[in-house]
């Protein structure tokens, strides 16, 4: 089954600083590209746990006794690593966002490239579909989702149009939604605008920012001191959260301080700025254009 070429693969693996006898976690298994690269670096005593809630990922599991796939959302990172008695681990890798495979499977409803049911669930057996969100949310909530998660400037009139249309007929297919937003779709940047609308819905359907926050909060609890956290994001909302958490250990405001002013932070950045793909990689893999890779090391020390 074809998924996608992992973006910044060498940089991700280098960032983990792999100990051949260590225990590692690939939070976004997908097609298994990162996992295979990690396994190549591990010795016979090394272990790799991977998370993926998408049933399609099962087809890519390597036949390797060092590997365990956990078919769960990575928000449950701590719970399942405790179950497998795998804490503490030496490194965690997360390649966020949707895989090319999920976009290419038109019937999943992620893509604007073909008509299908508006589903958009990464786990197609759980939670609300995009069609249900459009049918059940009130106008203000739909507008907020479009503006916050997709930076859609016409979020309010589009939300109003969605509510008006659903009173006449349900919005259940990709083409149904595209027809509603047609009035606001720019002539020459239509695909980008449509993608912003679909991105906003997808983030809401999968609770992506809430799940990312839960996962990041768990990482200091499961990583050993000196262990690495490697996270690659594809839109600014995710990247800001990752950057803030690495820098301050919290998602809003500044790190806690003791009476002497020392900051309590669980991570030290290994690289100060996000790593981005070079032009050659972007040329061969358009998904790399928006990728931002951040690497941090777990610390229990106070930082002045």
Q: Which of 155, 145, 261, 133 is nearest to 209 (CA)?
A: 145
Question: Is 56:31 a contact under the CB 8 Å cutoff?
Answer: no
300 in a labelled binding site: no
Q: Please tell me whether 32 is known to bind a ligand.
A: yes
Q: What is the DSSP letter of 187?
A: S
52 is in an annotated binding site: yes
The CA-CA-CA angle for residues 273, 31, 94, to 5°, reads: 30
- Sequence-separated (6 or more) residues with CB below 8 Å from residue 211: 73, 74, 75
Report how far Cα 109 is from the mean position of its chain's Cα atoms: 18
DSSP state of 270: S
Residue 227's SS3 state is strand
The continuous run of DSSP H or E covering 294 comes out as: strand 292-298
Q: Would you state the structure tokens that stand for residue 303, as one six-digit string?
A: 């930082």
CB contact at 8 A, 117 and 109: yes
102 is in an annotated binding site: yes
95 is in an annotated binding site: yes
Alpha helix locations (H) across the chain?
A: 9-16, 33-41, 77-83, 100-104, 130-136, 139-150, 155-168, 174-181, 190-205, 208-222, 236-248, 279-284
30 marked ligand binding residue: no
Three-class SS state of 41: helix
Distance CA 71, CA 50 (A): 8
| 4 marked as part of a ligand binding site | no
> Which residues have CB under 8 Å from 184's CB, separation 6+?
154, 157, 158, 193
Per the annotation, where are the binding residues for S-adenosyl-L-methionine? 32-34, 52, 74, 95, 102
Binding-site residues sit at 32-34, 52, 74, 95, 102
């Amino acid at each position: 089954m074809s998924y996608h070429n992992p973006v910044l693969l060498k940089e991700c693996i280098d960032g983990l600083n792999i100990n051949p006898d260590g225990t590692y976690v690939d939070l976004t298994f997908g097609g298994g590209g990162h996992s295979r690269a990690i396994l190549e670096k591990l010795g016979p005593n090394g272990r790799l746990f991977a998370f993926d809630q998408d049933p399609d990922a099962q087809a890519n599991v390597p036949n390797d006794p060092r590997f365990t796939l956990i078919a769960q959302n990575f928000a449950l990172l701590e719970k399942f690593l405790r179950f497998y008695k795998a804490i503490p681990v030496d490194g965690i890798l997360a390649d966020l966002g949707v895989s090319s495979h999920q976009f290419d499977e038109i019937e999943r409803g992620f893509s604007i490239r073909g008509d299908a049911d508006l589903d958009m669930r990464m786990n197609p057996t759980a939670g609300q579909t995009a069609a249900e969100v459009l049918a059940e949310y009130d106008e203000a909530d739909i507008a907020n989702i479009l503006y916050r998660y997709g930076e859609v400037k016409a979020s309010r009139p589009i939300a109003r149009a969605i509510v008006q249309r659903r009173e006449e007929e349900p919005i259940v297919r990709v083409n149904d939604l595209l027809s509603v937003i047609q009035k606001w779709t720019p002539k020459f940047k239509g695909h980008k605008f449509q993608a912003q609308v679909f991105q906003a819905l997808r983030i809401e359907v999968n609770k992506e920012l809430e799940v990312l926050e839960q996962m990041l909060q768990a990482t200091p609890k499961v990583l050993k001191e000196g262990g690495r956290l490697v996270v690659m994001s594809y839109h600014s909302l995710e990247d800001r959260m990752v950057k803030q958490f690495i820098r301050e250990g919290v998602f809003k405001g500044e790190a806690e301080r003791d009476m002497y002013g020392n900051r309590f932070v669980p991570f030290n950045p290994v690289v100060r700025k996000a790593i981005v793909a070079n032009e050659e990689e972007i040329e061969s893999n358009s998904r790399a254009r928006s990728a931002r890779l951040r690497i941090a090391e777990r610390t229990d020390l106070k930082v002045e």
